Every structure is written in structure tokens, then in C-alpha cells.
Amino acid sequence: MTHAQEVYKRLHALYKGAKCALHFTNAWELLVATILSAQCTDKRVNMVTPALFKRYPAPEDFASADKIELEKYIHSTGFFRNKAKNILGAAQTVVEKFGGEVPDKMEKLVTIPGIARKSANVLLYVWYGKNEGVVVDTHVKRISNRLGLTKEQNPVKIEKDLMKLYPREKWGPLAYYLVDHGRALCKAPTPKCMQCPLTDICPTSKKYL
């Protein structure tokens, strides 16, 4: 068994069933929540979205929303002006270009304001069940480096490395295993190596023990 396979095996044993922590009921709500989650915790986003989705139930409602009013709803997520701009642009694009439906293709998703490859991967895997790539957030970046799965710092390059190491069906679950591991044990700046079941195969654990 390769190092990468052993890492996955242990993460799977620890976090089987790991999933996206954002709350949503459809693809559009997930898209909005994903935009709001930039530089913000999922917990905070989940506190904001119930009132937001009640006020604006559909993409059409967001598309015609007043920007200042929208900013008030999302203020606590940080960077609210830019996020409001992206959400309005995303809503208008989804309504005008895609008939009000969030597309299920990478090349179409990345044309939507506020949706880069990472967010598109979230939508494709979480809502559409498609493994098109690996979601690389701050947890995935940190832990994949610590575990020796990559030496890259650029998220796109990290994603390519992880995609080479694992078969397609493992791309989606891997990201959420790493996210949960980052939240539970492999924290920044100080991981809990004494409690971690991967310590013996982790090349950086000696730094923290």
C-alpha cells in the first residue's frame, strides 16, 4: 500500500460520512452559501442564510435585489460588499444565461461571478454527485502538505497532485476527510499530533511532538 493509500484508509476510518457543513436545500442555495463561506466559517454562514433565503427565495429574487439591503443580510460574513456584488452577478447570470438553474458542468460554473474552480468542485460533488476535482481550501492545503501528499502551495497545483494520487471516486470524499481532520486534530498553527492516528506516517509530526 502506498503512503497516499494509507493516508486515505486512515482518514476514511476516522471521518467516514464527512460532508459539506453548509446548510442548503437546493443548488442555488449551496452556490450562495459557498460564495459567503470565503474567508468565513461555515458556522457563521449557516447563521446568516436562513433569513437571507427567506427574504430572497430564488435566483430571480436575488437578481433584482437591492445591493445595500443584501449587504445588510450578509454583513457578518465579512467582505460583504464584494460578496453582495458576486451574489447579484451570479443570480443575474444564472437567470439570464442558464434559465434559473445552476449548471452541472465545470466550464459553465466558472463563468458565474464568485465561482472559481474550488467552489465549482463543491457544487459538482455535493449537489450533483460528480467528482470533477478536489476541493482545496485552507484545511486541505495545510494538511496535504503536512502529510506529504504535495509540496505545492498553489491550490490548483495541489489539486493536480491529489488527483494524480487518487482515483476519481475518492476525490470528493478526500477533501471532506481532510477538512474534518483539520477541524478536529490537524489544526493551525499547532496540530494535536499526540492524539492523531496518522502521526506515525506523517512526515511533519516530529516538528510538533
| pLDDT (0 to 100) of residue 160 | 98
Q: 93 with 65, same domain?
A: yes
The runs of H, that is alpha helices, within 76-196 are 80-98, 106-109, 117-122, 138-146, 155-165, 171-184
Give yes or no for a contact between 94 and 30, defined as CB atoms under 8 angstroms apart.
no
Q: 117 with 56, same domain?
A: yes
Q: 41 with 118, same domain?
A: yes
Q: 43 with 113, same domain?
A: yes
Q: 93 with 73, same domain?
A: yes
Give yes or no for a contact between 205 and 193, defined as CB atoms under 8 angstroms apart.
yes
CATH code of the domain in which 83 resides:
1.10.340.30
> Other CB atoms closer than 10 Å to residue 154's CB: what's the count?
11
- Interior angle at CA 135, CA 18 and CA 41, nearest 5: 70
Q: 110 with 44, same domain?
A: yes
Domain of residue 99, residue span = 27-127
Q: 86 with 171, same domain?
A: no
pLDDT digits (tens, 9 = 90+) for 106-131: 999 999 999 999 999 999 999 999 99
- The domain boundary, picked from 127, 152, 172, lies at 127
pTM score of the predicted model:
0.94
Question: Which residues of the chain are under the pLDDT cut of 70?
Answer: none
C-alpha cell at 193: 499530533
Q: Domain tally for the chain?
A: 2
Whole-angstrom distance, CA of residue 80 vs CA of residue 94: 20
Q: 111 with 201, same domain?
A: no
Q: 120 with 140, same domain?
A: no
| pLDDT (0 to 100) of residue 104 | 98
| pLDDT (0 to 100) of residue 209 | 85
